[in-house]
Amino acid sequence: MFGLPATTTAIMVGVLGFWVVYTLVFYFTTGGWSVEDVDKDTGEVTR
Amino acid sequence: MSIELVFLVLYFAAMLGIGVWAARRKSATTEGFLLADRSLGPAVTALRLQSSSMSGYMFLGAGSLGYSQGYFGMWYALGDVGGGVLNLSILGRRMRKLSAMLGSITSIGYLEHRYPSPWTRAIAAAVALFCMFFYVLAQFLAGGQGLAMVTGLSVDVSMIIAVSVIIGYTFLGGYLAVAYTDFVQAIVMVIGMLWILVATLQYVGGLTAGHEQLAAVDADLLTMWGVDQQYLGEWGVIIGAVLIFSIGYMGWPHVNVSHMAMRQPSVARRAGLYATGFNLAFIPAAYLIGMMALVIVPNLDNPELAIFEVAATVLPSFALGIVMAAIMAAIMSTADALLLQAGTIASHDLWGRFRKGAVDERSSVNVSRITVLVLGVIGVVLAITEPPGVFSIVVFATSVLGAAFVPVYVCAVWWKKANTPGALASIVVGTVAAVTAQLTGSSDSIGFDPMGIGITCSVIAIVVVSLLTQRSSPVPEHVLVAVEEAARVRPVPARLAAGEDPTLASQLPDLDRR
């Protein structure tokens, strides 16, 4: 792809893809963290 | 005045404006000055974290590596892309909560609170200052070389001008000023880098055509194994290249302070998204432009100027002015963040912590400014008399910081048995091992990256020493409670809020000093 050797393409796409998946998994599996968001001014939990 | 200089002056004026605005907004408390009152949202957190840790290196070191080793340099980029989200996902939320519960307002002070001992702060501060000096030196070199390209002045004169501006700018304001200028810099950096990349690819006829021309120079440049395939099978070096900018970030005190300044622990979630997005757009581009420089500007005397030379060749003069101004401002922004942190360590973590008797605000600020000046003068003298390469300095400082601090920051929130002797042993062993490996050239002699060696030693040290000393040096009860609470996903109970629990109140700094 793009004139690169297959190994280079596989490593580049594979590792960059891993980070994208890692980021999305991190984001979507941590939705529950919002329960500890306390407004500093009011002391109320914000949603 | 050339159009490049006009844009440079305009850019500095804009940054100065942000600095003045932030200085007016900042709180009168120490927490306000050092952590922006823990008020930063996900975008500022993510982009500040990214821009302050990579700008000077990315425009000189990364381009140089791409120019000299082709796609082998991408191993560094592949680790770097995940560095931000890795740091935020592993440390972000827990470090934000724990630092608030322990009443910590500096990233070095946080280590002393988690691993209670004055030695923790003294040793950590000394190692951090040592490494930060080298990192600042890299920014000075980058700033001098960049300004020389724009102005046509000699590199030495340009460096003195650049450093003078950096030091003057650093005196302006606290963390809020640095955070918001870094945020703007990050956006401009990514726009500037992508602008150069698009113009570069247009110049060489597209990505595929560029690769074909690169293959004509040396087909090995398109492989992940370097010129003459010298790194084929050298997995110790390759894994070290991936790890240095991925997990290495977690050991940088001036980066980890971003976690402590987050508005809420959950800010880490969205900040992770932004960090990866920024990194994907920005990081590989630097290495790719460096590679294409082999086609566009071959036979460079100084490969670290690859990106500057490519920009000067492929961009029209008005665009060149904007991009050059952005590059210069980004370099300077990184330097001011580092100098602010170095000044903070000297004034707050060393002078304020260990000097007997009351420390007033004026003496604390004076210590901070003297530190910045001393670092600046020594840096300039060293850079002029015996200038090392930006890439080698950054790799050296990153390796030592990573080896010294990654285990103590990670274990602080993830392993409650990690105690003070374990942390001290880890910092000392990691530093000594990484420096020794660097000086003896471990990559060439035994095929292992210095940070890999250093971090392996520091992990073993913290685990073994902590387990052996559990009875003689148990983790204090109030620290155990705070670490367990940081792990739980729920609002921090009022009794554990810093200053309200009498066992924690003694750790609070004297906020009245400022």
Closest Cβ–Cβ partner in A19, A35, A40 for B82: A19
Q: Average the pLDDT over B115-135 and give the result.
A: 90
Residue with tokens 């992940």: B224
Q: What is the pLDDT of residue B65?
A: 92
Tens-place pLDDT, residues B48-61: 788 777 767 788 78
Rounded Cα gap, residues B157 and B388, in angstroms: 17
B402 in contact with A at a CB cutoff of 8 Å?
A: no
Distance from CA of A20 to the nearest CA of B (A): 7
Residue B291 reports pLDDT greater than 70: yes
A4 contacts B71? CB cut-off 8 A: yes
Q: What is the pLDDT of residue B363?
A: 74
Q: Average the pLDDT over B431-454 and give the result.
A: 85
In order of B18, B49, B157, B368, B489, the CA distances from B339 in angstroms are 18, 15, 21, 9, 35
Q: What is the pLDDT of residue B215?
A: 94
Q: Cβ(B295)–Cβ(B143) under 8 Å? A: no
Q: What is the pLDDT of residue B513?
A: 34
Question: Pick from B303, B364, B278, B293: which is nearest to B44 by CA?
Answer: B278
Q: What is the mean pLDDT of chain B?
A: 83
Q: Average the pLDDT over B473-495 and give the result.
A: 90
Distance from CA of B259 to the nearest CA of A (A): 15
Q: Cβ(B102)–Cβ(B507) under 8 Å? A: yes
Residue B487 reports pLDDT greater than 90: yes
Tens-place pLDDT, residues B333-359: 777 778 878 888 888 778 877 776 666
Tokens of B90: 């592993």
DSSP letters, B14-65, are: HHHHHHHHHHHHS-SSHHHHHHGGG-B-HHHHHHHHHHHHHHHIIIIIIHHH
DSSP secondary structure code for residue A44 in this structure: P
Residues of B in Cβ contact (< 8 Å) with A36:
97, 264-266, 489-492
Is the Cα dihedral B322, B326, B327, B328 positive or negative? positive
The region of weakest confidence among B176-180, B401-405, B477-481 is: B176-180
Q: What is the pLDDT of residue B501?
A: 39
Domains detected in chain B: 3-391 (1.20.1730.10)
Q: Average the pLDDT over B364-383 and give the result.
A: 80
Q: List % helix, strand, coil for chain A (3-state, nearest 5).
A: 65, 5, 30
Closest Cβ–Cβ partner in A8, A19, A31 for B276: A19
Residue A16 reports pLDDT greater than 80: yes
Residue A43 reports pLDDT greater than 70: no
Closest Cβ–Cβ partner in A3, A22, A40 for B82: A22
Question: Pick from B425, B387, B381: which is nearest to B403 by CA?
Answer: B425
Residue B161 reports pLDDT greater than 60: yes
Q: What is the pLDDT of residue B460?
A: 97
The model's confidence at residue B469, banded by pLDDT at 50, 70 and 90, is: very high
